[in-house]
Structure 1
Amino acid sequence: MSVRTQFDEQLVALKEKLLEMVYQSKHAIDQSIIALQSQDLELARHIIHQDKEINKLEKEINEIAIRNIVKQQPVASDLRRIIVALKISSDIERIGDLAVNIAKSTIFIGKEPFYASTEAIPQMAKIVQKMLSDSLSAYHEESVEMAYLIAKTDDIVDSMYGDTIQKLLSLMAMKPESIPQLTQLAFICRYLERVGDHVTNIAENIVYLVKGERIDLNF
């Protein structure tokens, strides 16, 4: 087997592990929202426990990337692919951490009845999960157009986050006893907003992968 063939196989392995990371992080976000809505504390604990699988995948990606840089001494375009894989894996790992944070807030809230409607939270989650799925497709297809659309969608998430926080603050003023719970719900909204930011970072790296240009899409 030629050196180039071995290197190409390693690039495929990197991509496959990244796709698995995206799947697992998307699933973690989905499960964390289910745990919140159903106040399923056991599920929340399971999400926290499972985060180690995402961390393991990131470590494997780092090892493959470093091994290829050291052994293969890749040319500029190949080196860019490795660097992008490392950066994307870091953002996906942080998304997994944010799912854990949502689960921790769910445990903090416990079985206490909700003081506020949580309707906006699954709506935000649905949007960021779609962004995450689209980022997987954009990365696989190396589509700059899809990357820009993902970044544009993040504006919707930001707007929803601002509106929901204002409503929660108003409720806190009217019901001081609700502050601990509503603070956790505000945190959850912030975590979902941060998921959108991390997916936008992934979109930026897709643009860099294809065009070799660094563009700030978090505007």
Structure 2
Amino acid sequence: MDTRKGFHQSLEELQRDLLKMGVMVEEAIFLAVKSLAQLDETIARQVVAGDDKVNELMVEIESSCLRLLALQQPMASDLRVIGTAMKIVTDLERIGDHAVDIAKTTIRLQGEKLLKPLVDTPRMADMTKDMLRDALNSYVKKDLEIARSLAKKDDAVDALFKQIFLELEELMGADPANVHQAILLLMVCRMLERIADHATNIGEWVIYMITGVRQELNH
């Protein structure tokens, strides 16, 4: 009984660390897009520097998972919880990398003015942050409904990406001088779309954790 109690306490600590990492990458997304909207190099470099802490926490979480597997005797359902955590941490690390790439775009654009004020890109970032939060909540609460709701939210992000793509395409057609920046802004939106995909990946792993069956949320 004491062993099982200690095991569940360790699982709770693992979940807290995952949520902490989730908050860190969510903040990185927010700051990266803010840096771009304001062309603020200081904020951008803050995001780049902060990625080391995200990576350190990833290593800690992976080590915790391995210790739980090695030192405890997890049941089948517990194995899925631990295995899912290891999958989630990989998606979170990649989300952090995308935030860094967005921040690096801000640095590349220093000395330029934005072609137009960014409105839809920050909105897209907000949508991806909401998806990430829902994905992690579905893991902690073991909530199938929240996990499955990510599919429609991912579709909404994809639709917004297509809208932004058409607007940037129009700007490129209007003036060849716009092409370089428009391509960079398009890459940023592609990164946000990938962040949404990683959130749906987490949802898929949560569904597997709960049901033992893989269900694709990306179409």
**Shorter-chain TM-score tier:** over 0.9
The answer as to whether partners of 1:41 and 1:107 remain within 8 angstroms in 2 is: yes
**Equivalent position of 2:101 in the other structure:** 101
Give the Cα–Cα distance (whole angstroms) in 1 for the partners of residues 73 and 105 of structure 2.
45
What SS does the corresponding residue of 1:218 show, helix, strand or coil? Answer: coil
Contact 1:121–1:189 (CA under 8 A) maintained in structure 2: yes
Whole-Å separation in 2 of the counterparts to 1:119 and 1:195: 18
- Partner of 1:47 in structure 2? 47
> 1:199 matched to which residue of 2?
199
SS, match of residue 30 in structure 1 = helix
Q: Hey, what does 2:13 align to over in structure 1?
A: 13
Contact 2:131 2:150 in 1 (8 A): yes
Percent identical pairs in the alignment equals 38
Contact 2:37 2:117 in 1 (8 A): no
Does 1:142 pair with 2:168? no
Residue 122 of structure 1 and its aligned partner are, at CA, apart by 0.6
Q: How many residues align?
A: 219
Distance 1:111 1:84 in 2: 44
Is the contact made by 2:150 and 2:217 (CA closer than 8 Å) also made in structure 1? no
1:57 alignment counterpart: 57
TM-score scaled by structure 2?
0.96
- What residue ranges of structure 2 are gaps of 5+ in the alignment? none
Question: Offset at 1:13?
Answer: 1.4
Q: 2:167, 2:174 → 1: CA distance? A: 11
Shift of 1:26: 0.6
Following TM superposition, where does structure 1 have runs of at least 4 consecutive aligned residues deviating by more than 3 angstroms? Answer: none
User: In 1, Cα distance between the equivalents of 2:61 and 2:137?
Assistant: 19
Q: Which residue of 2 aligns with 1:33?
A: 33
Contact 1:168/1:182 (<8 A) preserved: yes
Which amino acid is the alignment partner of residue 156 of structure 2?
I
Residue ranges of structure 1 left out of the alignment (5+ in a row): none
Aligned-partner SS, 1:115: coil
Whether 1:87 and 2:92 are equivalent positions in the alignment is no
Q: CA offset at residue 4 of structure 1?
A: 1.8
Aligned to 1:131: 131
Does 1:215 find its partner at 2:192?
Answer: no
